A and B are shown apart, each in its own frame.
Chain A
Amino acid sequence: MIDWVPPGIVLIAGAFLIPFLKGRAKRAYLLLLPVITFIDLFFMADGTGWAVPFMGYNLVFGQVDRLSMAFGYVFVIMAFIGMLYALHVKEDGQHFAAFLYAGSALGVVFSGDFLSLFVFWEIMAFSGVFLIWYSRDKASRDAGMRYLLVHVFGGLSLLAGIVIRLVNTGSLEFGSLAHGGLDSYLILLGFMVNAAVPPLHAWLSDAYPEATITGAVFLSAFTTKTAVYVLLRAFSGFEILIWFGAAMAVFGVAYALLQNDIRRLLAYEIISQVGYMIAGIGMGTMLSLNGVTAHAFTHILYKGLLFMGAGAVIYTAGKRKFTELGGLYRTMPLTLGLYMVGALSISAVPFFSGFVSKSMIVSASAHEHLAPVWLLLTLASAGTFLLVALRLPYFTFFGKDSGIKAKEPPVNMLLAMGFAAFLNILIGVYPAILYNILPFPVDYVPYTGEHIVWTVQILLFTALGFFLMRDKLMSQPAISLDIDWIYRKGSRAFMWFVEKPLSAAAQLPVRIFLRIADYLMWLGKNPTRAVSLYASTAIFRLLGRFPGMPPHASEKLLENAWKNYPGEPVKKSPVGDSVILVLILMAVYAIYYYIVT
């Protein structure tokens, strides 16, 4: 109990010291904090630690097993890499938000109960949004607000599921939920929002490209992978996820092909890669679950690297679209080289990290004889290589020279990219280092002759297709429509509805009552004359004239009478209104008395 602290708490509590440090000490501290957290991980013992009684429930902050440790390792490594990449940023708030965000993701991973999981889940959403807002422009403010609203929706669905579960079972324990029932479907919905499973994915491709250059690196790592972790724990073997995942893998690639913004392309690629993981969770075999864990691990490292590479281009070139970039290889060769390590890793080229992890999931689909899933996942692999390793570098670093005078980014950015690139190659060359920390024992060999030959075939012939048709892959300065159309345009339709028909309808009763009040005031000026006016008008309408008067003169008389209303001020009778009221009441009482008795 005493010898280790939940790693999420270390990062979150540690973040509060940042504003008190200055200059070199602060930079050292920013790097030291993830290192301390990493050392802390080694002291964590399997089992349930840090159980805190709270209002009759047991909150568990330290649920430790092989699965949570695997995610814990890569989360802390990525927090270190991301912080190294962001070291030149002067604003404390950005570092604070980043540690809060990474720390809450770690908090989710080691949560053993739904209540603490939910709290960390929400901290993650609310700290992540600041990594977007710190871009400080209108696009990021709007996208951040949409990001927040979608996550609040997902969080509420999760909370509703947790509450129903608590009422039904009396337990808050976080475990397998693959049994069906309303509570598990609501929780699944909440998890799937964060995993960006279509059609709940649009927040990701909407918000991540608007984040700060350094913030996007953090964002690419934690939210979706935390969701993968909780889905893996709660819904492994939930069959429908296979099909969601396979469709998602192809969907992400397809949409990525349409993008002109380099980070939006990479954001859609996250959706595609998470699709492999979701499919693997649905299969629920030992091989596939190992594959999901391995792929989440490598994905964080290579996707972080890709976002760092794209960020370096945006940082020094100041442009983010294919139509504005090109020919940067002369001035940014190091960035290009490091980016390509990430690109070859995501494409699952042999001896890079993606090869040893993605192939586990694809092989698992073959073992289960799920031929359509294999075809979809392989199609997505070809598309990923086409996009990330061919199209993006071709149109950014080669292609038509844009004439931009870019240079290499600051040294801390290059070091962070270099470290991530090193880990990607290390895992690709020596996969045992990754396989040893997976949740189940691994008897999978990635480097077999047939496997390498088949992979090389897919890659080379995809490249052939690219070179034959690369003119067709030129970007247009355009944006693509996606599900977010529904709420971006829908919110406008809603506001129109509120402002026009709804507010008009709301005004209607007000207008009616105002008219009534006006009328009563008019009547009160001279009630007797008003009554006689009504009576004479009625007579005139019925007969066409007043008795003993020609029609023309009658009309004239009536018109003048209306015009002169209220006429002379009403003379108050000396008896007073109250006496008249008393008289009326007495008369009513007398009538009542005679009738009832």
Chain B
Amino acid sequence: MGSLKNRKVLKYLFYAGLVIAVLADFLMHREKIELPWDAVPGFNAMYGFFSTILLIIVLRAAGYVLLKREDYYD
């Protein structure tokens, strides 16, 4: 998957993107506040991140109950 150097550059670009996306939120003009967190800069970033972590953790747990061998119905 590309050379090691390329991967490093991509990684830093990605981190830079994370920072810029949050910083830009502080400068953004809001037309109207419809939900309580519309005024909180970076809320969407936090929510997206924790949603992902939550989904993965909950599903690892659910997997123990819901996952069965492939020949379960045979």
Please report A residues at the B interface, Cβ cutoff 8 Å: 253-254, 257-258, 366-367, 369, 371, 374-375, 378-379, 382-383, 386, 398, 448-450, 453-466, 468-469, 472-473, 476-482, 488-489
Contacts and interface: CB of A to CB of B under 8 A. Distances in A.
A478 B21 CA distance: 38
A386 B34 contact: no
Given A453-B28, A479-B68, A481-B66, 5 more contacts: A379-B51, A386-B55, A450-B30, A458-B45, A465-B48
Given A449-B28, A453-B25, A460-B17, A480 B55 contact: no
26 contacts: A253-B55, A366-B34, A369-B35, A371-B35, A379-B47, A382-B51, A386-B55, A450-B28, A453-B25, A457-B42, A457-B44, A460-B18, A460-B21, A461-B45, A464-B18, A465-B53, A472-B60, A473-B56, A478-B63, A478-B67, A478-B70, A479-B69, A480-B63, A480-B68, A481-B68, A489-B73
Interface of A is mostly: helix
A247 to B, nearest CB: 15
A449 B30 CA distance: 9
A469 B56 CA distance: 8
B52 to A, nearest CB: 3
Interface residues on B, range: 35 or more
Nearest to A472: B56
A258 B59 contact: yes
A258 B48 contact: no
Nearest to A468: B53
A456 B28 contact: no
B4 interface: no
A480 B30 CA distance: 44
Contacts of A379: 47, 51, 55
Interface of B: 1, 14, 17-18, 21-22, 24-25, 28-31, 34-36, 38, 42, 44-49, 51-53, 55-56, 58-60, 62-63, 65-70, 72-73
Q: Which 7 A-B pairs have the closest CB atoms?
A: A465-B52, A458-B48, A461-B49, A457-B45, A461-B48, A478-B67, A457-B44
Contacts of B21: 453, 456-457, 460-461
B8 to A, nearest CB: 14
A463 B14 contact: yes
> Most chain-A CB neighbours within 10 Å: which of B1, B31, B47, B48?
B48
